[in-house]
Amino acid sequence: IIPEGHWSNLSDVKSYRDLIDDGAPASGDGYFDDFYYNSQKQIKEKAQLVKTRRLDGLTIFYPFLDLPATNASSLLHAAVSG
């Protein structure tokens, strides 16, 4: 999981932190203002898949692009609570 969003034509990138600051919904469908991103909803679904399939876990690359882990809207928070 990389906490960033890509513009629909892949020419621009924003961090998850910046997308949330710009008003993207943390638990949305992963699309906001022409950017695609991993939302908390999607991360929780991935975490459930890891648990039900007994996989080894999730990896979050570049955690500095996420919100702080203590923030309830962070992707790490979603993965742990998912």
Q: Return d(Cα 56, Cα 5) in angstroms, integer.
A: 25
pLDDT digits (tens, 9 = 90+) for 23-65: 999 999 999 998 999 999 999 999 999 999 999 888 888 999 9
Residue pointed to by tokens 């991360």 = 43
pLDDT digits (tens, 9 = 90+) for 2-21: 666 776 677 788 999 999 99
pLDDT (0 to 100) of residue 5? 76
Contact between 69 and 48 (Cβ < 8 Å): no
Q: Return d(Cα 26, Cα 24) in angstroms, integer.
A: 6
